[in-house]
A = this chain, B = another copy of it.
């Protein structure tokens, strides 16, 4: 199979209170009310037009402090090893992370956001608006996760996927 290669370049930096992997909420819904900011490179600020109308936005970023991935991982919410692609573990073959954070406001090139589950200093790759018709699929069947009470399950990371 042909392998394609390419490069990415950060378009900004994510600032959060989470300095180390241990202690980070594992998803925005586990980090409710945690605030952070997204500092977009000023040269991309014109592309932020109209963003402030959206209550929620996808941040796409690079997990810059993750270990090399394993094919099988024990996810935070479970005690059984699962296939990496059936988990949201932050050690991936390509370390792209995605978080649907709440957008509180836009001031120039700075976004104020809430529900922050991202490490401080993380390189930002992209911002996309959260659009219900595109992104929201309630009630879908979801494998091993259906056997778990997600609300009461472990919601805080340790250092199992981190280089530090």
Contact = CB atoms under 8 A, between A and B. Distances in A.
Given A46-B71, A133-B151, A54 B9 contact: no
Interface residues on A, range: 35 or more
B41 A3 contact: yes
A119 interface: no
A55 B92 contact: no
A108 B11 CA distance: 37
A85 B126 CA distance: 8
A41 B1 contact: yes
Contacts of A136: 135-138
A-side interface mostly = mixed
Contact of A131 (B13, B53, B55, B145): B145
Interface string A134-154: 111111111111100011000
Given A8-B7, A9-B5, A134-B27, A129 B100 contact: no
A79 interface: no
A60 B145 contact: no
A162 interface: no
A140 B138 CA distance: 14
Given A48-B83, A54-B141, 18 more contacts: A3-B10, A3-B41, A4-B9, A5-B9, A6-B62, A27-B133, A28-B134, A44-B85, A49-B72, A50-B86, A51-B83, A53-B86, A53-B146, A55-B140, A58-B98, A88-B128, A135-B136, A136-B138
7 contacts: A5-B8, A27-B134, A47-B69, A47-B83, A53-B143, A54-B143, A131-B142
